[in-house]
């Protein structure tokens, strides 16, 4: 049986005050090393400069 990592994040204030944006990502555990090799980590641990560099790659 394949196991997965699932990540969910949201931004915004919701329908009452404004837009709400939700993103979901799901990868198999077998692909975890591929993401780590790309340098992808918890974005809250990255500097703004690192985030911009990864986003433009």
User: Is the pLDDT higher at 55 or at 28?
Assistant: 28
Beta pairing class for 4-12 and 20-28: antiparallel
Q: Residue 28 has what pLDDT?
A: 92
Distance CA 49, CA 41 (A): 14
**The pTM is what?**
0.53
Name the maximum alpha-carbon separation found in the chain. Answer: 42
Q: Residue 24 has what pLDDT?
A: 94
Q: What is the pLDDT of residues 13-25, one digit of tens each?
A: 766 777 888 899 8
Mean pLDDT across the chain: 84
Q: Residue 15 has what pLDDT?
A: 67
């Amino acid at each position: 049986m394949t196991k997965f990592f699932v990540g969910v994040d949201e931004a915004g204030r919701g329908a009452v005050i404004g837009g709400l944006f939700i993103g979901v990502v799901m990868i198999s555990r077998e692909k975890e090393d591929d993401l780590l090799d790309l340098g992808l980590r918890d974005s809250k641990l990255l500097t703004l400069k690192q985030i911009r560099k990864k986003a433009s790659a």
